[in-house]
Amino acid sequence: MLVRSLVRKALIPHSLPIMSKQQTLGSFFSSARASASAPVAKKQKIEITTPELTPDPKTDSESEKDKEVVSESPNKPIFAVDDAKQLLSKETKESTHVPPISNSKPIPYSALADVFEKLEQESARLKNLAIASEFFQEILQSDRPEGLIQVTYLMINRLGPDYEPGLELGLGETLLLKAIAEGTGRAASQIKADYHRVGDIGLVAQQSRSRQPTMFKPKPLTVPVVFENLTQIARMTGNSSQARKIGIINKMLTACENQEAKFLMRSLEGKLRINFGEKSVLVALAKAFVENEASKRNKKGTAEALVQAEEKIKVAFSQTPNYEVIIKTALEYGIQNIVEHCTLKPGIPLKPMLAKPTKSITEILDQFQGEEFTCEYKYDGERAQLHLLEDGSIRIYSRNSEDMSERYPDLIAVVKAMKASNPNVNTLILDCECVAWDVEQKKILPFQVLSTRKRKDVQTSDIKVQVCLFAFDCLFYNGESLITQSLKERRSLLKDNLEPIEGKFQYAKGMDSSNVDEIQGFLDQSVKDACEGLMVKTLNGSESGYEPSKRSRNWLKLKKDYLEGVGDSLDLVVVGGYIGKGKRTGWYGGFLLATYNQDTGEYETACKIGTGFSEDDLKKLSETLKPTELSKPKGSFVYEKNNSNALPDVWFEPTLVFEVLTADLSLSPIYKAGAANYGKGISLRFPRFIRIRDDKGPEDATSSDQIIEFYERQANV
């Protein structure tokens, strides 16, 4: 697979779009060398000096009052040393033109906006990495290196770690358009018309601000001021919160110059669109620290040191996904020592280990030949990471690190009771699956039942759907991280120290066997027991450690329904809808689905789906999606513009993710998923709706890289 991937990538013309975050090993081979010699294809620069707005080139049609502080959040890994050398080269550095940072003053927001502009306009990934890392290094060499924390969060369009509640941006377009109108003195109707024509709220703000005369020049915006204001806006609630949010936005907008307004409004919308994903941010941080530490010794950073630093910062982040902790630790101990100091800690959710799909029991036996492995039920529920903290408090996190403790007060009560009966257990992190449970018949209920539970303000007395927590791994116990220990050891520790409670807390049902007939029988039984199939895991040895955030072949998933298909379901984003006919009149009768390109932040269309829905499903989906209708496709949608069969009747804001089954995958001239690799997109044949993935956001959907991998595996079976 790796060899095929390298050959395929080597044959791709340099001008084709870049792949997404979750890349295969060696994905920089040849692309970096090409970038050194080939001219860079720049996106058309948007002029803002004329009174007319230029359409977005990415789309063709497209209580006490809070204190207002106004002016005074896979990319390809560089495993190849040659590519690291290219990134560190003099030519790459000299092409960045990063604005200097003052030693004594806060970081100007204009400097960050300038970097955003360069990233948006640049198409070569190595140069984008160089631009970001050079800016980071400027900050590290200033008197305020901790300013890198806020800059990093603003670059990923977040205000803190995922597990901290109340820090979400993503304000609605209605509020933002109103803020632009009030802040620039233009008519709301003009602002709305401009937005419908351009399709980019940031460009509308930038152009509107450029027309606005000011009697007195406000103090320039700084990164700390913008960050604090955005944080206040995110946390505002109550009846007057909208007016207060608009007030803060207006004051910041008045202080904006040049492209500051564009990126400020995009940040507020939650769509920065700078073609620079989070894993690229980690690589840029690694490079900045390597070069900064080398410069203190009057030396230059080496490619080998960069390769090591990249791997270490990714390992550290997978265990401690908090940029403040990561950056402060690197400042204190050095980037090469970061893993030793960023280890698991209850209260900070780690990124979960994921499984690779497989299509047959014989494939499992081939993969685990000569190794011990175990089979476990794959439960049809919601991934849950259970944390018992040193102070006795209990937190439950989703697969996306969202704190969902308030959603499951009944589980919190169960764990408290378990803690009381097991006084030797002080701290703990468990990997589990939360499923709906029929108390009377003592059996698992489908995920659809679990999805009917309230998600907010849940009171124990109001709970109608009971749940059971099935634990399958122990990652931390009494102050010690266990992820480097074998699964066999972790499983023994789990079962030796926690007593199951029927219907409340149980171990995942498992079987250790390498007999084909026994595995087949266990698979059949799992389906009878209302499970999706089996998880098959390496049980012993160095390969059986827990690998946070990785989709590893040391874990395989075997689902009954997928044995003759692609090998797994796909989780696709709903970006469009088709008006229903006949019995479906009055509702959406079908939907346009897309993969998410984690490198570009774009949604690439993959199929139209209309089967698998009940009438009730369509009614509820129509009610849910109606408020998210768009007047034109977003600039981040990649679709076939010249074929009417590819165009939906309505476009949607990407909010919902469907789990979809398919017979197989094929190349299509109509759809665009993974088109960078083949000239044609990859599409699903005979897709069928399974369920809504409430536990996944649009950016967690099947990536363009993943659908390419599925297609290649299918072609080589």
Please give the positions annotated as active site: 378
Residues paired with residue 384 on neighbouring β-strands, in sequence order: 432
Burial of 460 (0-12, 13-18, 19+ CB in 10 A): exposed
Residue 194 and residue 270: Cα distance in Å, rounded? 20
Residue 111 and residue 104: Cα distance in Å, rounded? 15
End-to-end CA distance of the chain: 12
598 close to 277: Cβ distance less than 8 angstroms: yes
Lookup result for tokens 């207002």: 68
Residue 411 and residue 225: Cα distance in Å, rounded? 40
Report long-range pairs for 78-82 (Cβ below 8 Å, ≥24 apart).
78/28, 78/283, 78/306, 78/307, 78/310, 79/25, 79/26, 79/28, 79/307, 80/26, 80/28, 80/29, 80/32, 80/307, 81/303, 81/304, 81/307, 82/29, 82/32, 82/33, 82/303
Residue 378 and residue 470: Cα distance in Å, rounded? 10
Tokens for 409? 């007060």
SS3 605: strand
Calculate the alpha carbon distances from 73 to 168, 317, 402 in Å. Answer: 10, 13, 14
- 554-577: b or e for each residue (b if 16 or more CB lie within 10 Å)? bbbbbbeebeebbbbbbbbbbbbb
Other C-beta atoms closer than 10 Å to the C-beta of 402 total: 16
Amino acid at 561: D
Quote the DSSP letter at residue 336.
G
Residue 350 and residue 229: Cα distance in Å, rounded? 29
